[in-house]
Amino acid sequence: MAGKDKMRNKGEELKGRAKKTAGRATDDERMRSEGRADQAQGSMKQAGEKIKDAGKKMKDAFKK
């Protein structure tokens, strides 16, 4: 499950990067803004996944 979430989040981040680039190329400020928002949202979700992974590692370390 976590692997799927990470892939989905990374896909969202890449989609945002592509939108931002397309907006820059076509001089479309709305598309550029949407791209930045999508990219930021994907990055924040990625950060959340990293925190979850770190928590699981700590939990496993205390089990030993």
Question: What are the sequence ranges of the domains in the chain?
Answer: 2-63
Is the distance from CB of 12 to CB of 2 less than 8 angstroms?
no
pLDDT score of 1? 55
For 4-49, what is each residue's pLDDT tens digit? 888 888 888 899 999 999 999 999 999 999 999 999 998 898 888 8
Measured at the alpha carbon of residue 5, what is the angle toward residues 33 and 61, in degrees to the nearest 5? 125
Half-sphere exposure of 44 (CA within 13 A, CB side): 7
| Rounded Cα–Cα distance for residues 2 and 53 (Å) | 9
Is residue 58 pLDDT above 70, yes or no? yes
Is residue 2 pLDDT above 60, yes or no? yes
pLDDT score of 62? 85
| Rounded Cα–Cα distance for residues 45 and 20 (Å) | 18
Measuring CA to CA, which residue among 1, 12, 2 is closest to residue 44?
12
Predicted confidence band of residue 64 (pLDDT cuts 50, 70, 90): low
pLDDT score of 21? 94
